[in-house]
Amino acid sequence: MSRLFVTLDISFFMPTTQLLTIQTFLDHLKFQKRYSQHTIISYRNDLQGFFTFLYEDYNDPGLKEIKATYVRTWLASLKEAGISSKTINRKISTLKSFFKHQLKQGNLDVSPMATIISPKVGNRLPEFVDKLDTEQLFNVIQFPEGRTGDMEKLILEVFYNTGIRKAELISLSNKNVDAAASAIKVFGKGSKERIIPVSPGLMDKLQHFKNGTEQLPGDGPFFTSAKGKKLDPRYVYGVVNKYLSLVTSIGRKSPHILRHSFATHLTNNGADLNAVKELLGHSSLAATQVYTHNSIEKLKDVHRKAHPKA
């Protein structure tokens, strides 16, 4: 199997043994943990940044020579550079995972991350498109005639009606659009499979689109470019951004915002949180609970406007 991570940009000064240690860890994430390519690249970049810092400031210490003070100094430099607490927490998580793996491999006796505490991050409610704006998006906005317009509208409808991620939509194959079951099968983070029910109306549109376009074999992508290739992520983002800009003024206008909208509208209408968790493909309920805050905020708003003592 080919390796995702072949050479670090800093390989010209990093010892070969250090490179192999990092490479082995990334291979562990890819083949054992089955992390996505996007996640592995994030880990790679975090480790590259950390070991570059060690080379420049601490004369490239060996694995067992890395101290907690080195880590804290690096984190402080990130803070001074204006890096957000959320991003710093991700980098801390990367280092904790890396050094935990080294402990398990017998390469270390003590992790330098044992005394490192992640900075607090303020809870930010996920943005979402208002229900009235989604109705305008699908019922008022005019889409171009022909295959391109049909596909762009269908992409938006699939995002909003199923809550799938951008990568999941791009990878959706013909064989995993099941008209008989009125459901689609997607593969999320870590290649975890989940079945998402689809309304009869949306399934009819999917089938109509499929019948009206030249399809690749069953395991080929459902949505393709004019040349029959898998859609480019930038194109999918651009489609969502273009049409959301016509109906809403929220800050972010991405496929993930439609995922947030899907989950928020479900919880606002009383959907069971565990069911929403399964539909989103979250590994824990904690990740889904953020959407209950939007519901609570909605109730607070109603209370403030309607209650005489509010």
Q: Which of 259, 260, 265, 277 is catalytic?
A: 259
SS (H, E, C) 234-276: HHHHHHHHHHHCCCCCCCCCCHHHHHHHHHHHHHHCCCCHHHH
Does 282 participate in catalysis according to the annotation? yes
Q: Could you give the C-alpha distances from 199 to 103, 141, 151, 204, 282, in angstroms and in order?
A: 49, 21, 18, 9, 22
16-27 helix and 85-104 helix, angle to the nearest 10 degrees: 100
- The amino acid at 173: S
Does 303 participate in catalysis according to the annotation? no
Here the tokens at position 194 are 């989940």
Q: Which of 101, 153, 165, 265 is catalytic?
A: 165
Q: Where are the alpha helices (DSSP H) in the chain?
A: 16-27, 37-58, 68-80, 85-104, 131-139, 147-162, 166-171, 200-211, 233-244, 255-268, 273-280, 285-288, 290-306
Provide the phi-psi class of 142: left if phi over 0, else alpha when psi is between -120 and 50, else beta: beta
- The amino acid at 40: I
Does 304 participate in catalysis according to the annotation? no
Does 291 participate in catalysis according to the annotation? yes
Given a contact cutoff of 8 angstroms between Cβ atoms, the answer to whether 240 and 255 are in contact is yes
| CA atoms of 243 and 257, how far apart (whole Å) | 12
Given a contact cutoff of 8 angstroms between Cβ atoms, the answer to whether 207 and 179 are in contact is yes
Does 189 participate in catalysis according to the annotation? yes
| CA atoms of 48 and 46, how far apart (whole Å) | 5
| CA atoms of 7 and 20, how far apart (whole Å) | 10
Q: Which of 189, 194, 230, 293 is catalytic?
A: 189
Q: Which of 28, 185, 256, 293 is catalytic?
A: 256
Q: Which residues are catalytic?
A: 165, 189, 256, 259, 282, 291
